[in-house]
Structure formats: structure tokens, C-alpha cells
Structure 1
Amino acid sequence: MAETRSVFLHGKPTIHKMNLLKNTQKEYTNLISKFINRMGQDPTYLLDLLTNNKQSPKVRNLEKEVRKSHQLGSAYGQNAVDMAVKELHNHVIRIRNKVYGFIQQHHPEMEVYISFLSLLNATVMKADEMAMIQGLIEKENQKEKPSKSKVDDYQKLLMKLKALSEEKREYYKETVANLFLDKLKYMKLPFLAKSVTLQLDTRLSTLERSHSTKEDFIVYVKLLGEKDRVAFPVSTSRNGLRRMKQYDTGSMTIKLTDHGKVRIGVPFTKKIETKKIPKKNILSFDAGITDLIFTNTGNPYGSFCGMRQLYEEVVEIKLGHRSSLRNKMRDYQKELKKSTNPYEKVRLREKIQNIACSLSGKKKKDKGPRQYAHQADLRVNEAVGLFIEEAKRSHSICVYEDLDITEFGPGKEK
């Protein structure tokens, strides 16, 4: 089994180099945001985003089109669009999971239209899903070594859809599409709050041992506005030197820290041995859609059914009421500035003061969110307790999903 880790190199650049790196990071961040806004608002990119397809011809054509409007060059442009696809992939998968949970709870008969990503895309794009699945079957059969399991899955899906009447299929498609598009419209796109880490490769950087400085290495990086690569002398720990000598390294990342220092990450792949465990002694678990924990034995723990309704009835109403009061207070403040009538000013000041007193009630304000958080904590504690009891009874080793943490970038939700 291979595991990816990183060695970090640190250095103190000059003010000139620091400004060059800062400007490059800023332009790179803006470019990623531009790609996010373009692809996130165009449904034709949906399938590529759902499948995290960074090599899609449509995505690559977009990068070539935008390349003319920035000065970073093709290498930074391609890395930027890859980052944008990754951020949007996480965004649309979150939306899909929310819709999946709602459908499971309220319309389980429509689950097939949200379970398969290709079928979801055809549903949203109002394409012929039957022809799409038939095309996937033909495409798989044309391969040199077709996957029998994939073909079987497509055939079962096709049979399941054929068992539905055309009227039902159209109704299911319209309902799922509307739910998904509604979430896509109102859930804000990911945004990059700060200058992001620059993703480098051999087109943009080289790493060499240092022979003329006291630092261990010199990293040469292509930066905005510079014809030649900029040199950054950097050092690492003794353990870092050993690892870089022992393992093959991959593409580096570079970032300017808040303390004015440069931090360079050098990934390496390490092979680790894992002991084979009998399958009968393994209890695997994963996070479910409506259940906190779902095990390979088929036991769900920590049902979150009804939590959405609780949030809408308790938290959203309370927060919505306070938002309306704040908006009303701002309107009164604007009227107060424009008014010249002294009696009107007194009336407006009294209204503003009354609203401010209502908003200052912190205990009452936090009551709704506290109720929701308390219910969530109860369900989490109960789920973990029941899961641990099952593990003890069966004398099993617990394993969980192997998440690819490299897919989680610096994007945040507004």
C-alpha cells in the first residue's frame, strides 16, 4: 500500500521576491475564481463536474479561451482550471447528497434518478435517459476489455426504467431536476478567501541542491512578470533531508506565509506494509445520507431524519425574523438621515432603539440554534455508543472509508 506524505522547505525571501510571489498568488487566485464562476453557472459542465473530469475537452477549451485574458501562461492556467474543477466537484456532490437525502426521505421511488451521476446529468439537461444508458452500454462493449459488471449495472438500470410508465418517468425527471437546480441556484458557489497555494510542476519549477548558500536547496520558480525563474534558497529538517534522499518526489507547491516566509511542499510516496485481517473480523463503516453511521453488517446508527424539519421550523424561522428586523432597522436609519422633520426624527429614533433592544437579547437569540445543536449531539452520541457496542460484541476491527484528502482544497462556502 502506498501513502502520500510531504516534506516542507522553508526560506526567507527578499522583499522583491516576496512581492513577486504575492502578486502571482493573487492573480492565480483570481483566475481560479473566474473559472469557478464560468463553470458553476453553466449547466453544460455539470457531468464533468460530477465526475471530476479535469481532462474534459470542454474544460480544456475553456482554459484556452480564458488564457488570452491573463498573463500567467498556459501552465498556471491549466493548474488553475484543475483546482476550479476540484472545488466545483465537491460543491455539486454536496448538492447531490442533499437532494439524495431529501428524496430518500420523501420520494424513495425517485431514487434511481439521483443515484447514478450520468442519469442525474441527463435528467437535469432534459436528455433522453434511455438513449443515454443504451449509449453507455454500446461504448463499454466497444472497449478491448469491456467490464461485465458495468454492462450488467447499465442493463439493470435500463430494465428498471423500462418498468416505469413514460408519464412517471417524466414526472420523476422533472421533480429531481427542479430539486437539484433549485439547490444549484441558491447554494453559493465556492470562493477562495485568501491567496491560495501555487500548484507547481516541471514547467514552472525546479529543485536543486545548494552549493553556494547555507540553505539545503534552491527552488527556481516561474513568477508573474519575470522572464527568468526566481530563486528561493530553502532548508528543511534532518528528517526531511533523509526522506527526500530516500523517496521519489512529485510536483511542489509554494506559498507565502503570514510571517513573510516562503513554504514549499514536496510530496513523496511511501510504501507501507499492512497486515491482512480476516474479513469476518472487520466491521467497516461509512457516513450515510440520512444516517450518521452505516456499517457493512447493514446496521444504521444515528438517524438524522426529521433534523431538516427541525432546522426549518426552529432555527431558520428565528434567524429569518432577526434578519427582517435588521433590514427594517437599516431602512429606518436611512430615513432618519434624509428626514428634516424633528418630530419624524424622534419617532424613527424610538423605532430604531426598540429594534436594537429586541436584537440584543442574546439568550433568546441563541435558544433555537442551541435546541438544534443539542438534538444533533444526542443523536451523534447515541450512534457512536451503539456502534462501539456492536464492535465489542463481534470482537471486530473497525475500518472506515479511505478518503482522498487531496481533493479537499482551500475553497469555502460563503
Structure 2
Amino acid sequence: MAMTLQNRDADGDRFWLPHRQDLAPKKGAKSLNVGIIGAGIAGLTAAIAMSQSGHDVEIFERSEFKSETGAAISCPPNSFRILKFYGIDVASARGGEYNSAVYYDYKEPETKDYVDFSGYRSKYQAPWAFFHRVDLHNELRRLAVQPPDGDRKPAKLRLSSSVKDVQLDGTIVFQDGRTIKKDLVIAADGIRSAFLSQVVGHDVYPEHYMSMIRFLIPSHEFLSMPEARCHFESGMTSLNIVKGGDKSIVFYPCREGTLLNVGVLTPPEVCKSADGDDLPLTQDLIDSATKDFHSVYNGLYRLKDTFGQWKLFRRAPLSTLAKGKIVLIGDAAHPMPPLRAQGAAAAIEDAAALGVLFSDLESASEVHDRLEAFNKLRVRRVGGTQVLSSLHEWDPLKLPQEYTKYFDAKVPYTHREIDNWFYDYNLITEALEVLQEYQMSKETK
């Protein structure tokens, strides 16, 4: 491999990154035919990363993208660095930057505690950013299918392409009976992935951990209410959390501060009937879920235009993420609640890991070994991320012994240690180290 970590700055900067062109294919490198199932954030980021490494990428998306919807999304430092590395334009994606998290008393909004984020940019060389999900998705799609001139091969996006089956040899079977064979298939088709059992060998079922009622409201309408004036006193740059027992309301700005994303998180039973059936989402249901909260929070939904309800899941970590020529990424691989804002971040890490580990191939026969390298890099990292993201109140003393392996026996105890575990992580450098180990072992065989 022409590029090594010896190119790193002499001071050993832990956030060192190579030049993006360093991952471009070298003369004589093998170009794979890569199929990606799903054009969400995971799939599009994987398309950008894999095409950067010189591969021919085709994305199969079952929808038509005619009326994309979605709420806001947080982008912590560990994933923001990756997006910037691959060329995302924050201005085009209408992103913003958090300066703080503010915790409010659910009965007295004037009572609050701060967690300062303003030092993240210097400490982690990246901010904690926020986007409207549709804006970020559109920017990723643009980069995937219309990369800057000479930057990399454009990916091909096939809409209305519903996949029925994927076989371990890389054969993709479509609902209409057509088939196509790829050197590598990346399953980025979400939590209900149809191909999970192909990789792990059996059915795996997630646990319905909580429900979220989610909606967007115009920022100016919220701030025009007298009782809301204590919020966003320093500008539209804070993540706001209101916790009331086993329920929470989280709201934060997106789309350059013009909209507020609001999420009401509840135990699953709040949104179910006595018989266990899902209740329809009505204003009465939201009133019931937020009845104990101050009126400024209980009445937020009255400002909304549209709203929806999502089930949030968690699942035990998998022991492998790849088999044959199939690899799972994003929610297909590791669904988790949004408690630490790492769902999309982990998907972005997955995508970048593939881009690095599949750079500079000599032969398509290397796919198996490169996927083993992916497992080595990602299984423990995403396992730890799932564990940390699946508990409202982190108590390391109650962590089951079998989960300590995800932290190399260095389980984070404090909130600062948890932040460092997430945000100090430099995926691209870690992936380069694993790739070098693979290259060196290959040379000694």
C-alpha cells in the first residue's frame, strides 16, 4: 500500500486524516462492482466512500424519493469529521452547530442546567452539528451521484428497485424476478433488513424499547410565546432536554435555526391500548403523553404542521457483520435508541470503514479477507455504541460481564469518559491501521 500512517504528522495528532485522494485507487488496483441496498444516510455515505476508493457503485432504493420527509438529525464530532473528510458542504446542507445541551425542569422551565459544547471544536477538532434529515440526505445524494469533477466515479442510483433476496455469492434478486451479481453487496436497508438472517444464520428480533412522537414547528412561533422566552437565550444553538419521570421531550433547531425538531419519548405502553395494539396518533394521545409537563411543552404540538410516531428499537450486538459477499451497515447492523445521538454516526463510521478497507485491492478474491478486517474493526466498536446508547441512566457497575469486551476492559464510568470514548475515536485512522495489518500479514504468507 503506497500510503501508510507514517505520513501522519510528527506530533502524532490523534485526529490526523490523510488527504482524500490518498484513498483513490493506485495504478493497477482492482475495481469492484458494488451493490448497495438502501439509499438512506448509511447507503449514500457508503456509496461516496466506495466510489472514492475506485469502485463501481450501484444503489438500489425501493422508493421513488418523490416526497422525502423526516425530522432533524444530530451529527456528533466522530461522524462530523468523516462527513467533512468526504466533502460534505455544511452550508449546502443548511447545518448548524450546537454550543450546549440545556436540561429543563419539566414543571418549571426557568430551572435549567447546562452542558457546554463550545469547546468541542478545539478538543475534538469537530463540532456537534445538527441538520434537517432531508437536507443532509440531499447533500449526500448529490455527492454520491454528482461528485466534483475528477473527484471519483459517480454512483448510479436506481429508484423503485425493490430487492427480494440477496445470496451469499453476491447475487441480488429483485421483486420482478431480475437478478444481478456483484462482487460486494452492502445491506443498508434499515432495521427491518431482509438480509440480516443471511449474515447471522438465523432470525434476529429487536426489542421495542421506546416510542417517539416527532414533529417540526416553526422556531419563531415557539419563541413568540411568553413562557418560551427562557429558551435559546444565546441563539439557536442548543440541544434542549426536558425529562419528566420515564418520559422526555427533546427539541433542537435545524434548517439554519428556522425549524425546531421536537421528539416526545415515552415507554412503549403509553402508545398502546390495554390489549397491546398500537394506538392511532392523535392530539389526545400527545396530551396524555405530556400531561405532566409544563404547558409550554405540553402544548408544543399545537404549532406543528405534520407529525408522526416511530417505534425505537434496541438489539443485542451481533457477533459478525459480514458473511460471503454481504455486509450489514447502519440500522441493519446495529439499531439503537437515539439516547446518545449515535445511530446515524455509527452508520457513517461503517461507511467510511468500508471505503478505507476496500482501497487498493489487487483482486476480487480479497473481498472475504477485507470483510474479516471490517468485522475486526467494527464489531466491538458498534457493540459498545449499542450498549452505551441503550440505557437511559448509565451505571457501569450494572454492566453485564459479557459486554465489557466491547470496551477492551476499559469501561467508561463518567460522562466525560463516555464523551471521550465516542468523540476521540478517529475511524479513518483506525481503519488504516487495520488495513496495514492486513497488508503486512498478506505479504508474510
| TM-score higher than 0.5 | no
Say which one has the larger Rg. 1
TM bin, normalised by shorter chain, reads under 0.3
Q: Which has the higher helix share?
A: 1
TM-score (norm 1): 0.22
TM-score (norm 2): 0.21
